[in-house]
Amino acid sequence: MAELFNAQKQTEELPGLAELEEKGQFKNMLGSLMVSPERTSFESQDNDEKVIILGRKHFSTNLGWMTLACMAFFVPMFWGEFPMIKALTINVNFIMTLAWYSALLFFVIQNFLLWFYNVYIVTNERLVDVDFIGLLYKDIDVTQIDRIEDVNYSQRGMMASIFNFGSVVIETASEQKSDDGKRGPDFDFEAVANPALVVKIISELMEEADKNGERRD
């Protein structure tokens, strides 16, 4: 038989939710994808609602600011070469260095916080997208599983291919737009680790909602 007909057998099938829960995979709290995380909840969670996926942007999306911070770390070691800074007194030089490292530490902690808390949550009832923009603005979008119409994902670029992350786009039946009017009713989870797995789990939940007759088409 031609190889073409054997190709289907060779493809590795993605594990389902039950299998992942059984194996206890994706449990690292600092990871980009957690399946059935323990002791995790969110603000408007119902009593019988169970968190199935908690994810955030892939860790490699932090490489940009991390590289910048590493380079900034060495700047005070070289700024004595500039004549204007050389002319400053030792005290002023010292407090300038302190201020530089304080600002750098602020930059690192702020970026970490924004990465850590910008999460998306999939429960057995709905999807929640939590976005913190800067330190003063938050945007939380929620949709019910039974209102999801279509789920797909895309992987674009070299980094996405190497580290296996991509955007998961979820089309909903809602007609509501975001408060700034820029986004439509679709959910867009960016830089999701293992996007194929996330899409599979959401599809499983949609099928389950279909079986239970909860879907509103």
Partner 1 sequence: MENIEKLTNIQVTVSSIIGVMVKILMVLLLVLAMVMVRQSALMDKVVKLPVGNKVKLLTWSYFGLMIVLTAIVILV
Give the binding site for partner 1 (CB under 8 A).
29-30, 37-43, 54, 84, 87-89, 91-92, 94-96, 98-99, 102-103, 105-106, 109-110, 113, 116-117, 119, 121, 130, 132, 135-136, 138, 140
> Under a CB-based contact definition with an 8 Å cutoff, are residues 154 and 169 in contact?
yes
From the CB of 16, what's the least distance to partner 1, in Å?
25
DSSP character for 31?
S
Residue 207 CB burial class (10 angstroms; 0-12, 13-18, ≥19): exposed
Residue among 32 and 200 whose Cβ is closer to partner 1: 32
From the CB of 139, what's the least distance to partner 1, in Å?
11
From the CB of 185, what's the least distance to partner 1, in Å?
22
From the CB of 91, what's the least distance to partner 1, in Å?
5
Residue among 14 and 140 whose Cβ is closer to partner 1: 140
> Under a CB-based contact definition with an 8 Å cutoff, are residues 130 and 140 in contact?
yes
Residue among 135 and 158 whose Cβ is closer to partner 1: 135
From the CB of 44, what's the least distance to partner 1, in Å?
9
> Under a CB-based contact definition with an 8 Å cutoff, are residues 136 and 127 in contact?
no
How far apart (Å, rounded) are the C-alpha atoms in residues 140 and 47?
20
Residue among 14 and 105 whose Cβ is closer to partner 1: 105
> Under a CB-based contact definition with an 8 Å cutoff, are residues 175 and 185 in contact?
yes
How far apart (Å, rounded) are the C-alpha atoms in residues 176 and 109?
34
Residue among 143 and 200 whose Cβ is closer to partner 1: 143
